[in-house]
Structure 1
């Protein structure tokens, strides 16, 4: 697809990091719980979709076209 700008390893790392942050948000009892959950959700979503808005903003692309 044309809008994917992340390679496999970038996406896998984002899914792992996002899932970890969401899981961690369930174990803390602070006000930062929502912030950590939100950041984890955004990272997980960009990993699943494969499109990073910051990469698009700067014109970066880690995906190798074959």
Structure 2
């Protein structure tokens, strides 16, 4: 797996993943059970991809937010 998530993207993914996880755990904010599980899945995906620094969707689309290191 080639790294395709930069530091800023990682930070944003972690923040949104934690926010979604808190929404899932609070329970009172989301009444619909299906929506609740979708929120959990999204939070897990965001957190896992931020720690692995690889996003399969980015790879599929050929996108990368990593800084390119210049060779000397």
- Per the normalisation by structure 1, the TM-score is 0.87
Which has the higher Rg, Structure 1 or Structure 2? 2
Q: What residue ranges of structure 2 are gaps of 5+ in the alignment?
A: none
- The Cα RMSD (Å) is 1.3
Instruction: For 1:2-21, list aligned pairs within 5 A.
Output: 3-21=2-20
Is 1:40 equivalent to 2:43 in the alignment? yes
| Count of matched residue positions in the alignment of Structure 1 and Structure 2 | 65
Q: What residue ranges of structure 1 are gaps of 5+ in the alignment?
A: none
SS at match of 2:26: coil
- Per the normalisation by structure 2, the TM-score is 0.80
